[in-house]
Amino acid sequence: MRTRIRRIAVAVTVSAVLPLALTACSDSDSKDKASDSASAGSSKASDMASPSDSSGSMTEPFGPACSSVPKDGAGSFDGMAEDPVATAASHNPALSTLVSAVKKAGLVDTLNNAENITVFAPTNDAFDKIPKADLDKVLNDKAMLTKILTYHVVGQKLAPKDLEKGSFETLEKSMLTTAGSGESYKVNDTANVVCGNVKTANANVYIIDSVLMPKS
């Protein structure tokens, strides 16, 4: 009789403990799966958040005239980045008038040998805005030509953000101003940047649609 009672007690104990054990195992498995799922989700979120382009679009050239720059070769953006600024400009068809002016003024070596400069480079169309008689006069006056061309050069590398509200001394020794934001900038309130942030070996170049004139 006593043996039978003990067997019944053991059976009752086992039947009571077994569901609890199974529940505990089930809860543990669920927690492990939830933890693994959360870890995987966190990893994916981390991957999505990692900045693949943290440098931003402004590290690239911008502006409507950039589309006219050759896609490859010495006159492309990659090609220009390998040469000093005067040489780089000579490979860009849209800057041929500027390059001729720089040669006439004897400034090729000056610009190529300078370090960390910014050049506001007028396009051929910018020079075409000047009446031919006036342009010919300037091109044949080396002192005046040098004054105008050096007014387009700043003795430091300017990033687009620097142009938002800037005032900079030029190599000509007088000041020019810049204003704007995003991909829209003006120089001296007269010239628009039509292709900005072009890199050369020693300069940042901003191609503009008007020739800048020093005030004095």
User: 135-142 — which CB contacts under 8 Å span 24+ positions?
Assistant: 139/100, 139/101, 139/104, 142/104, 142/105, 142/106
Mean pLDDT of 185-189: 97
In angstroms, rounded to a whole number, what is the distance separating the alpha carbons of residues 16 and 19?
A: 6
In angstroms, rounded to a whole number, what is the distance separating the alpha carbons of residues 15 and 191?
A: 90
Tell me the whole-structure pTM to 2 decimals: 0.73
More confident residue, 8 or 110: 110
Residue 94 has pLDDT above 60, yes or no: yes
Question: Chain-wide mean pLDDT for the chain?
Answer: 82
Q: Angle at the Cα of 107 (from 103 to 113), degrees rounded to 5?
A: 125
Mean pLDDT of 12-41: 43
pLDDT classification of 3: cutoffs 50, 70, 90: very low
Least trusted range by pLDDT, from 26-30, 81-85, 100-104 = 26-30
Mean pLDDT of 59-64: 92
Q: Tell me: the pLDDT tens digits for 111-169? A: 999 999 999 999 999 999 999 999 999 999 999 999 999 999 999 999 999 999 999 99
pLDDT classification of 59: cutoffs 50, 70, 90: confident
Least trusted range by pLDDT, from 12-21, 48-57, 130-139 = 48-57
Sign of CA dihedral 15, 20, 24, 30: positive
Residue 81 has pLDDT above 70, yes or no: yes
pLDDT at 215: 84
CATH class of 61-208: mainly beta
Q: What is the DSSP letter of 199?
A: E
Cα–Cα distances in angstroms (integers) from residue 183 to residues 36, 186, 187, 195, in the given order: 45, 10, 13, 9
User: 75-81 — which CB contacts under 8 Å span 24+ positions?
Assistant: 77/198, 77/199, 80/198, 80/199, 80/200, 80/205, 81/199, 81/200, 81/201
Phi, psi of 159 (to 5 degrees): -85, 160
pLDDT classification of 85: cutoffs 50, 70, 90: very high
In angstroms, rounded to a whole number, what is the distance separating the alpha carbons of residues 157 and 159?
A: 7
Mean pLDDT of 199-210: 98
Where in the chain are the domains?
A: 1-43, 61-208
